[in-house]
Amino acid sequence: MNYLNIFWSELVYILTEMSPYLLLGFIFAGLLHLLFPKKIVRKYVGQNNLRSVFNAALIGVPLPLCSCGVIPTGISLFKHGASKASTVSFLISTPQTGVDSIFVTYSLLGLPFAIIRPIVAFVTGLFGGMVTKKVDPSNSEIIAENIENGDEMPKGFYPKIKEMFRYSFIEFLQDISKWLVIGLLIAALIAAIIPDNFFVNKLPSNFVGMLIILVISGPVYICATASVSLAAVLMMKGFSPGAALVLLMAGPATNAATITMIGKVLGKKSLFSYLGTIITGALISGLFIDYFLPPQWFKLSEHFGHMGHNHQEMLPMWLKTGSAILLSLLIMNGYLQKYLISRKINIAATASNRSVFDSDKVTTIHVGGMTCNHCKENVENSIMSVKGVEEVEVDLTTGIVNIKGKSFDMKKILSGIKDIGYQIKCEDI
């Protein structure tokens, strides 16, 4: 029973500490969504030169993309003209951090970590792109007829503000909420069952701790924001700050699905440069933190549940508690919206093959591999780029895609979906 009390206490603490900064990060994510639509990103990363590699790394650091959405977005950019070098640069820098995770890093790990993390993401992204340009210089072939579909932003001040909050607290929050909740639960569980400083005398060296974290985090998925709470807890249990940085880098950027997809689309040479850069960069960065930076920069308190960063008193308890409640309600609303949309599309798809478009008979296909709203957007844009398609409805939960149009080439639609990394489970045509 005592473990349950500790678990609940740790969970509430982590949530209240993260929530104000996470909500603020979501707002900035919405602003970046307005400032950097995909056509702008394509403009700056679509050349096969070092400038595009630099731009890809720089844009990727703050870009509001959940980790699971980075791969399909990066592949979509590659299929729409970005070079392999700039694509790898984007794929390395983007998942490691983001404007939301930077704020959360500050809240739990302090200012030095919040500054170091995006710098490391940028440097490794830039280096990975340069390596890829040397070992695999081939470029992509543009496959879409109209790659600007879905890039339009609303006109006018109030419509833009509405779109910013819609993206921040519905679309983007939906994408990371699952992994955010899982990360919080795992962090609270570790905090409850493993004594503080448990690993201090059990690890031969800091480097061994980094290797352990690298092996554990490499094949599994963890989003950039959720990894922060896990890194903080592991530091309290005795892992070094360098090992925590390895988790923050490798956890979001490497997993089995990511490795498979990059190898399939970009090829083995680009995959090796991607993995080699992340592994080497993580270990070098971790060693640099542990042996060259002042240890007091990364000190946490004696007990994670009563962590005492100097800046935490800047926020009153009512604000942190209110933010935690608001964030919890927004997460529940995101799941409710997903359910309502899924139910609407499922009912429409089974009603004599008539869609939510309230018009003529539509084509229904089932697409596999979609995990977030960015995946949904990529599939919609790919389908809308085919001449003759009028409207598209995608259900993330079931993979049902309803396509309305008077005359379009279905082979081009299916080919386009496969080219950006998704699977056609079955089609009803």
Pick the residue with more confidence: 396 or 291? 291
pLDDT at residue 150 above 60? no
pLDDT at residue 50 above 90? no
pLDDT tens per residue across span 201-219: 788 888 999 999 998 887 7
- Where helices occur in 351-419 by DSSP H, the ranges are 373-384, 410-419
Share of the chain above pLDDT 70, in %: 86
pLDDT at residue 344 above 80? no
**What is residue 390's predicted lDDT score, i.e. its pLDDT?**
86
Number of C-beta neighbours around residue 359 at 10 A: 12
Which of the residue ranges 112-121, 139-148, 170-179, 326-335 would you say has the lowest mean pLDDT? 139-148
Give CA–CA dist 96/253, Å, rounded: 6
Count of helices and strands (H, E) across the chain: 17, 4
CATH 2.40.50.140 is right for the domain spanning 330-428: no
**What is residue 354's predicted lDDT score, i.e. its pLDDT?**
46
- 350 pLDDT tier (thresholds 50, 70, 90): low
Kindly report, as residue ranges, where domains of CATH 3.30.70.100 are found in the chain: 330-428
Q: Which of 399, 397, 408 is nearest to 363 (CA)?
A: 408
- 334 pLDDT tier (thresholds 50, 70, 90): confident
pLDDT tens per residue across span 76-100: 778 777 888 999 999 999 999 999 9
Mean pLDDT of the region 103-115 = 92
Pick the residue with more confidence: 307 or 223? 223
Tokens encoding 5 = 């009390």
Mean pLDDT of the region 55-82 = 81
pLDDT at residue 279 above 90? yes
**What is residue 116's predicted lDDT score, i.e. its pLDDT?**
96
pLDDT at residue 145 above 60? no
Pick the residue with more confidence: 36 or 80? 36
How far is C-alpha 37 from the geometric centre of its chain's CA atoms?
16
Q: Tally the residues of the chain.
A: 429
Note whether 64 and 41 are within 8 A (CB): no
- 332 pLDDT tier (thresholds 50, 70, 90): very high
**What is residue 300's predicted lDDT score, i.e. its pLDDT?**
76
Mean pLDDT of the region 235-263 = 88
Pick the residue with more confidence: 313 or 400? 400
Pick the residue with more confidence: 229 or 301? 229
DSSP letters spanning 14-76: HHHHHHHHHHHHHHHHHHHHHH--HHHHHHHH-SSSHHHHHHHHHHHTT----HHHHHHHHHH
Mean pLDDT of the region 423-429 = 65
- 43 pLDDT tier (thresholds 50, 70, 90): confident
Which of the residue ranges 96-105, 172-181, 279-288, 341-350 would you say has the lowest mean pLDDT? 341-350
pTM for the model stands at 0.81
Q: Across all residues in the chain, what is the average pLDDT? A: 83
